[in-house]
Amino acid sequence: MKLITRFLWMTALASLLASACQPTLTRSASPPSPFPAALQPLPTSSPVVVSQEVTPTPPLALESTPIPLPLVPNFSHIVVIIFENKEFGSVIGNGKMAYFNLLASTYTLLTGHYATTHPSLPNYISLIGGDTFGITSNCEDCFINAPSLPDLIEQSGRTWKTYQDDMPDPCFLGSTLRYAQKHNPFIYFDPIRLNVERCAHSVVPLTQLDGDIALNDLPNFIFITPDICYSSHDCDLELADGWLKEQMDKLYPVLESSGEPFLVILTWDEGQGNHSCCGLPEQAGGRVATVFISPQVKPNFQDPTPYSHYSILKTISEAWGLPYLGHAADVDTPLIAAPWK
């Protein structure tokens, strides 16, 4: 009996001593975790570090560099309509060209535009070739083996046509009573004339314009030459003005309805004087009235910058990112940049 009592006493004492050797754990009440169960912090054996609130550093303010506007808008369509042999002062302010003057006062008038030379043909050649190629007459067999604006237009994936008033047939060679070959520069370039299919497709009578409008198939570049009467070469200015209104009444609504940028250029092949400017020979083709018609030009604007026919070629090339041909590349040939909004 004593042995049992001694055993029970020793067992109790051992248990008491073991409990005394363990640290006392006190579990205090803690607030519920602010994290949803799926976002509970993972357990870690590292000491708990209480982080201080950190204010995020704002990103460095970058100076915004404005994107420069192009020097010339990228037009969907460019139309050139060219008349004959009138000096600036014979046209601007002349009541016989009331419609032309209305357009000149509504849109942009270039008051310092000069033709390349005399007579007609080398002026036309310079507008699409960048040079007169030594031509000094209205010859009909002085053909040119050189690139021209249509070559560059096609290479850029765009299309072109010249619509020649009273031309008997597409790619017609020669002249008639009303159609003058000397006013059709495209037929003089070998790469166009000698390519029968290309020439027949793009060097066409003005009568094809109505069909292309009806089919909504206007080319990107359009060059329109009136016949020998409506160009004012042989007939009165009133007839030229009426003819111009008829063409604009057809073209403008179609161009405007597209909602895309477009430009119509009205100009004259040469004046009646020998005035010159900007890199042209001292005796050049005279001062001519040139009007830029477009939603992209400044309204009621007159640009006095001295320009030449080479400036028109340079400006078309700039609009479409084409290489400059001939004298269009000259530093003395100004780009027509002032009229754009």
165-174 confidence digits (pLDDT tens): 999 999 999 9
Q: Is the pLDDT of residue 14 over 80?
A: no
Percent pLDDT > 90 in the chain is: 79
What is the per-residue pLDDT for 25? 39
Q: Report the chain's mean pLDDT, rounded to a whole number.
A: 87
Would you say 255 and 77 are in contact if contact means Cβ atoms under 8 Å apart? yes
Q: According to the model, what pLDDT value does residue 67 have? A: 74
Q: What six digits make up the tokens of 109?
A: 């008038």
Mean pLDDT in residue range 295-309:
98
Alpha-carbon separation of residue 198 from 171, 194, 195, 201, 256 (angstroms) = 9, 9, 5, 5, 29
Looking at residue 43, its pLDDT comes to: 41
Query: Percent of the chain beyond pLDDT 70?
Result: 81
User: Does the structure show a pLDDT above 50 at 236?
Assistant: yes
Residues 201-214 as b or e (16 or more Cβ within 10 Å = b): ebbbbbeebeebee
**pLDDT for position 32:** 44
Q: pLDDT tens-digit profile of 88-144?
A: 999 999 999 999 999 999 999 999 999 999 999 999 999 999 999 999 999 999 999
Give Cα separations from 108 to 12, 73, 127, 264, 320 (angstroms): 115, 15, 20, 11, 21
Q: Would you say 334 and 306 are in contact if contact means Cβ atoms under 8 Å apart?
A: yes
Average pLDDT over residues 68-93: 96
pLDDT band at 1 (very low <50, low <70, confident <90, very high): very low
Question: Which fold does the domain 77-329 belong to in CATH?
Answer: Alkaline Phosphatase, subunit A (3.40.720)
What local confidence, expressed as pLDDT, does residue 126 receive? 98
Average pLDDT over every residue of 154-173: 98
Q: Is the pLDDT confidence value at 263 over 90? A: yes
pTM of the model: 0.81
Residue 30 CA: distances (Å) to CA of 27, 34, 39: 9, 12, 18
What mean pLDDT is predicted for residues 50-63? 53
Chain centroid offset of residue 332 CA: 23
Per-residue pLDDT at 7 exceeds 70: no
Model confidence pLDDT, tens digit, residues 182-211: 999 999 999 999 999 999 999 999 999 999
**pLDDT-based confidence at residue 26 (cuts at 50, 70, 90):** very low
> Could you tell me where the beta strands, DSSP code E, fall in the chain?
77-83, 108-114, 160-164, 203-205, 221-225, 262-268, 287-293, 301-303, 307-308
Q: Per-domain residue ranges for the chain?
A: 77-329
State the residue for tokens 């037009």: 75
| pLDDT of amino acid 179 | 98
Do 240 and 226 meet the contact criterion of CB atoms below 8 Å apart?
A: yes
pLDDT tier, 64 (very low <50, low <70, confident <90, very high otherwise): low
Q: Sorting pLDDT into bands at 50, 70 and 90, what band is 55?
A: low
Q: Using alpha carbons only, what angle is made at residue 36 by residues 34 and 37, rounded to the nearest 5 degrees?
A: 125
pLDDT range class, residue 69, cuts 50, 70, 90: confident
Give every CB contact of residue 265 below 8 A, 6+ residues apart in sequence: 78, 79, 80, 81, 290, 291, 292, 293, 312
